[in-house]
Amino acid sequence: MLDTIIPLDKDLLIFLNSLGSEQWDPLWLVITNQLYWSPLFILIFYLTIRAFGWKRGGFMILSMILLVGFSDQFTNLIKNSVQRLRPNNDPEIKHLLRTLITPQSYSFTSGHASTSTFFSVFVVLLLKDKYKYIYFVLFWPLVFAYSRLYLGVHFPLDIIVGVIVGVTLANIYYFFFKKVDKKLFPNK
């Protein structure tokens, strides 16, 4: 089965990556850099404090920070276990790709896709009853993950599995978060 999926995965990446152009390269380099997303994180932290107050909101922000650390380590565990080469390091296709950055770590799964999805879904679960437009935050991991295809540093399968992992972990994390939250803040 993998013998069929892997070549299709590579072909799809080559196609998607070839849609890029030098005109848009600087934009996608900004999009893929987590630092430039800081205003979004600050907005989410502000909305959390505004909705739940300093004490409970602070606990939620701490939970978000722990989530990102856990997700990063979990993704690294998968990457180091599977050891799939990144497209920009794959001798079979690297000459067919437009690559603007050349990370050397492994590819499967995408940490950008899993962590941004994990974070965003968790934020939506936390804030959906307080802000009806919070669902727009789910746009971020889609754009963020696509940047990895554009730059030729992840395969589509890395992204898809990363998103699935992110959604799954967010729901599990939220389930346990609610239990701890109920114990720490029983009247809320």
Per-residue pLDDT, 103: 87
Task: Tell whether the torsion through CA atoms of 98, 6, 73 and 165 is positive or negative.
Answer: positive
**Exposed, middle or buried, 121 (CB in 10 Å: 0-12/13-18/19+)?**
buried
17 to each of 67, 98, 111, 143, 152, how far by Cα in Å? 30, 7, 19, 14, 6
Q: For 146-181, what is each residue's pLDDT tens digit?
A: 999 999 999 999 999 999 999 999 999 999 999 998
Whole-number mean pLDDT of the chain?
92
What was the pLDDT predicted at 3?
81
Q: What is the pLDDT, as a whole number, of residue 152? A: 93
Q: Using the predicted structure, report yes or no on whether residue 1 has a pLDDT greater than 90.
A: no
pLDDT digits (tens, 9 = 90+) for 103-113: 888 999 999 99
pLDDT for 34 equals 86
In this predicted model, what pLDDT tens digit does every residue of 126-147 receive, in sequence order? Answer: 999 999 999 999 999 999 999 9
Q: Report residue 8's pLDDT band, with 50, 70 and 90 as the boundaries.
A: very high
